[in-house]
Structure 1
Amino acid sequence: MLEIPLLHALYAVHKHGSLSSAAETLHITTSAVSQRITKLERETGQRMIERLGRGVRLTDAAVILVDYAERILSLVNEAESALDGHRGAIAGQLSIAGFSTAVRGLLPPAIIALKEKHPKLGLKICEDEPNMSIRQLVRGDVDIAVVQDWFNAPLDLPEGLMKASLLDDVADVALPAQNPLAQRHMLELDDLADENWITWTPGSVCHSWLMQTFRACGVEPHVVHTAADYSTQLALVSSGLGICLIPRLGREPVPPGVRVIGVRPLLSRHVYAVWRRESARRPAIRAATDALVETALPTELSYNTKTSFPADAPVSSS
């Protein structure tokens, strides 16, 4: 008889490509993963993995079994969610993935509130780009994903997911203090057409959105530098190397020599929580999404009171 832990080990190796990575995901040792695969091979009478350099490759028999394992594990997760819902327990483990500024500005207060109400609930935060978080959610690697998309570039969500709106996050432009535009109190999008841009790396949601927004206006943005976090982008702006867009959620104090100014038309992204439909009855999912909504509401209300900023005033999300 095929045991769930054995199937879980095989599926983890399939997803992550090595025994060590599978062990890290399952929170067991590499030796334990190897033992489970060996036991699965004995029970099926077929080889499951072959060594491939430092990694491993699944055999044809394992590929067949992985397809069934994915469905079986999904059903197990659904059954556990149904039992949790019947029991009404807010306990166990819950993992939440989120993009960087959500992890910094939204998740910590929501997690603190959640743990105060439900001390038996274990929580884990994972930082990742929205597209990766959605893939992790669909695979069952995380329970909730906090994602974002821009007003003119909606994120494509797969079937079987549910979502709750959290907030609309406004973005402002950050410029070197010596830039002539830095003396303005509000900027038009057209004012920025000839500027040198510092943005996220190609392939990221924010980089794609910036390119799409300006191209829709008939302008090709001149991207001179890319960086994978806003702190680095602001440091480059402070050095006079270009301008960047900075959302207000999770914003850190800007460095000296940088001015933050509002833009018309308003540039905003929508932030929301997403979870699997089969997990909707799980009380921990409902409690976590409620905590996220309650935390986001005062954050968004505070954003609505800030439509522009003096040219000489740093801005933080607090």
Structure 2
Amino acid sequence: MLDLDRLRALHAVSVHGSVGAAADVLHVTTSAVSQQLAKLERETGQKLLERHGRGVRLTDAAELLVSHAERILSLVEQAQADLEAHRGKVVGELSMAAFPTATRGLAPAALAALRAGHPGLRVVLNEKDPVVSVPMVARGDLDLAIVQDWGNRPLSIPDGLLRGGICEDVADVALPADHPLADRDVVELKELSGDPWICDAPGTICHDWLTHTLRTIGGEPHIDHMAQELSSQLALAAAGLGAVVLPRLGRCDVPAGVRLVELRPVPSRSVYAVWREQATRRPAIRAALQAFRAAA
């Protein structure tokens, strides 16, 4: 009889590329993963890993076993979801991620409501960009992710994931107070296309959207400064160092040296949750979605 925890360890090594990375995802030590794999080799009578440079690679026997493990683990998850649904209670553990402005603007109220309404549920939240969190949900590393995409830059959602809408959000532009357009009520984005900008790092949803959008209206953008937190971006704007796209959902205290101006066309983004299809019947998924919608 194959042990599920050992299959899960092998599957994690296959997905994440190393024993160490698998251990991080499974929240165990590297030694524990190695021991699980050694026991699985004894169970199967097959060598599953072989040295490859400084790392390891899966043998043909391991690849065959992984292909079965994916289906087995998927069925186990579906069975667990069906049992939770049959029980009809919101219990267990829900691992989830949210992008930064949702962590600020939605998560506090949503998680507090879940804790008050469902004391048998433990929610573990990590702040992650959708570029990172969506693949984690697809792999089974997370149960749920709160993500976003912009109207002109949709996010690619892998097969096997479902989505549920939470809210629509719009953004303004934050300009240094001495900017020539800072006293306007509305500014056209193309009027700012040649300005220096402050944004998140390359590879994030917001950076990629801003780069794409500015390129469509005025050539190569000048993103001079990059910071993860909106409060840091606004501090740089207050120092006169550039403009910031500021979603209303994530709005924080605006420094005195910054003016908020509406943009045309209005930047709009969709905020929604994604989860694996097999987990649809989990009451915890439905409860979390309801809580985030209420917070919005």
Q: TM-score, normalised by structure 1?
A: 0.86
**Partner amino acid, structure 1, of 2:247:** P
Contact 2:196 2:224 in 1 (8 A): yes
CA distance in 2, matches of 1:53, 1:98: 36
Q: Give the 3-state SS of the residue equivalent to 2:182 in structure 1.
A: helix
Deviates more, 1:219-228 or 1:7-16: 219-228
Unaligned runs of 5+ in 2: none
CA distance in 1, matches of 2:123, 2:54: 32
Match in the other structure for 2:203: 203
**Partner amino acid, structure 1, of 2:274:** V
Q: 1:72, CA displacement in angstroms?
A: 1.1
Match in the other structure for 1:97: 97
Residues 109-133 of structure 1, C-alpha deviations (whole Å, 9 max, x = no match) = 1011011111111111122221221
Q: 1:42, CA displacement in angstroms?
A: 0.5
Q: 1:39, CA displacement in angstroms?
A: 0.4
Match in the other structure for 1:314: none
CA distance in 2, matches of 1:227, 1:34: 38
CA distance in 2, matches of 1:211, 1:31: 43
**Partner amino acid, structure 2, of 1:140:** G
User: Identity over the aligned pairs, expressed in percent?
Assistant: 54
CA distance in 2, matches of 1:230, 1:55: 39
Structure 2 residue 251 is matched with structure 1 residue 251? yes
**Partner amino acid, structure 1, of 2:201:** T
**RMSD, matched Cα:** 1.9
Structure 2 residue 26 is matched with structure 1 residue 15? no
Match in the other structure for 1:281: 281
CA distance in 2, matches of 1:262, 1:55: 52
Change (3 A) 1:35 1:96: same
How many aligned positions are there? 296
Contact 2:194 2:218 in 1 (8 A): no
Contact 2:100 2:128 in 1 (8 A): yes
Matches within 5 A, 1:34-183: 34-51=34-51, 55-183=55-183
CA distance in 1, matches of 2:141, 2:257: 42
Deviates more, 1:281-290 or 1:160-169: 160-169
CA distance in 2, matches of 1:271, 1:63: 37
Structure 2 residue 216 is matched with structure 1 residue 190? no
Q: TM-score, normalised by structure 2?
A: 0.92
Residues 149-183 of structure 1, C-alpha deviations (whole Å, 9 max, x = no match) = 11111212222222221111111111111212112
Structure 2 residue 31 is matched with structure 1 residue 31? yes
CA distance in 2, matches of 1:214, 1:5: 48
**Partner amino acid, structure 1, of 2:83:** L
Unaligned runs of 5+ in 1: 297-318
CA distance in 1, matches of 2:118, 2:112: 10
CA distance in 1, matches of 2:237, 2:55: 42
Residues 226-259 of structure 1, C-alpha deviations (whole Å, 9 max, x = no match) = 3333233222212212112111212221234222
